[in-house]
Amino acid sequence: MSDSPLRVAVIGASGIGKNHARWFHQHGCEVCAFVGSSPEALAKTQSTLEKGFGFAGRGYSDVAAMLKTEQPDIVCISCPPPLHFDYAMQSLQAGAHLLCEKPLVYDASKSTPELIEQANTLVATAATRGVVFGTQMQYATTLDTLLELSGHAVGASNIREFTMEMETKNLRPGREYEAIWIDMSPHPLSVLQKIAPDAIINPDSIECTLRPHETATRFELVAAADASPPQETPLKAHITVRYNPDRAVPLRQFVIDGQTIDYVGRNNAEGEFCSYLTAVDGRSIELPDFVDTLIGNFVQACQGQAPLTVTGADGAQNVAWQLQILGAAQRE
C-alpha cells in the first residue's frame, strides 16, 4: 500500500461539507479539491477551508472537470439530494471511493421505483468498479453503545421495541411535511437497520402522520423469508422527527425496550466537540463526534484496514424504507 495520503475531493463544501473536509484532513487525507456552485461560493469556500485547516487545493465549478484533473482517490458528496445520483455515478465511474451524504438519493420529481432503481444502480456500479462506497448515516455507528446503556449485550438480536425522537433547530426553505422526513429520518432508520439487518417492514403495520414541522410514524419490522437467524417476534418501531426552534438543545432521544438514552453534543474539558449518550440512571459515555467516527472508519476501509460500518447498500435500503413509509403517510 502506498504511503501517500489519500486524496479527497468534496462536492458541496460550503455547508456541512466543510466539516467533512476537515475530518478527512484530520484522518490523514489530503483534501485536494472541492466543487462549488458559483464563483462567489468558490471564493468563500476556498477562504473558509484555508482558515479551517490550511487547505491548499483548488475549487471547481464542474464535477467532470474536477474528476478529470484531480483524479481523487475519494469523493465526498455533500450537495443537495437531487444532485446525488448524477455526481455519485460520475465519481464511481471515475474509479473513486465514494462517501455520499444521506439520503443516498432523493428527488421529489421522481417516482419511488425510479429512486430505488437509482440507489441500486449506485450499489451495483460501486461493486463493478471495486471501490469502497459508504453513506453518511453516522448514528448507525452508535449501536454498541446504545445496547450497552440499554442493558443489552453487544450484538443482541432480541430487541422488541425501539423509539427515537429527533429534533432540529434549522429549518431550510421548503423543509416541511415530506421534506422533514426525507432529511431527518435516515438517522433513526439507520440505527434500526443495524439492530435488525435482515428485517423488512410489515407494510400493513405502517402508520405515519405528516405535519408541517413534524413527522411521526410507527411500524413493525419482521423477519425476511431468508433471515438467519430468524426474527422470533416483530420489532415495534416508533420514530418522530421535528423542527423545534424553541428548545435550547434539540431533543435527540432513544428508547430501547423501555430504557431511555439521551444524546447531546458539546465540547469536552479539552475543548473537543464530542457526543454524549446518557442513560436515565446517570451512566454517561463520551464518544468522538459521530461523523468523525464514520469518516475515520471510511478512510480505514479505503486503506484496507477495517470493514466499512455504513455501506452504500445500507443507504439504498434506507431510501427504500423511507419511501415505503412515506407512501403510507397521511398529511394532517
Sorted by where each starts, the structural domains of the chain and their CATH numbers stand as 7-136 (3.40.50.720), 138-290+312-331 (3.30.360)
- When pLDDT is averaged across residues 165-188 and rounded to a whole number, the result is 90
Lowest mean pLDDT among 73-77, 244-248, 307-311, 313-317: 244-248
Distance between CA atoms of 316 and 322, rounded to whole angstroms?
10
pLDDT at 306 over 80: yes
Q: How many CB atoms lie within 10 A of CB 125?
A: 18
Distance in Å from the first CA to the final CA of the chain:
56
Instruction: Specify the DSSP class assigned to residue 140.
Output: G
Instruction: Please report the sign of the dihedral spanned by the C-alpha atoms of residue 312, residue 315, residue 321, residue 326.
Output: negative
pLDDT at 226 over 70: no
List, for residues 227-257, the tens digit of each pLDDT value.
555 556 899 999 999 999 999 999 999 999 9
- When pLDDT is averaged across residues 78-86 and rounded to a whole number, the result is 98
Q: How many CB atoms lie within 10 A of CB 108?
A: 11
- Binning pLDDT at 50, 70 and 90, where does residue 311 land? very high
pLDDT at 258 over 80: yes
pLDDT at 118 over 70: yes
Distance between CA atoms of 22 and 221, rounded to whole angstroms?
37
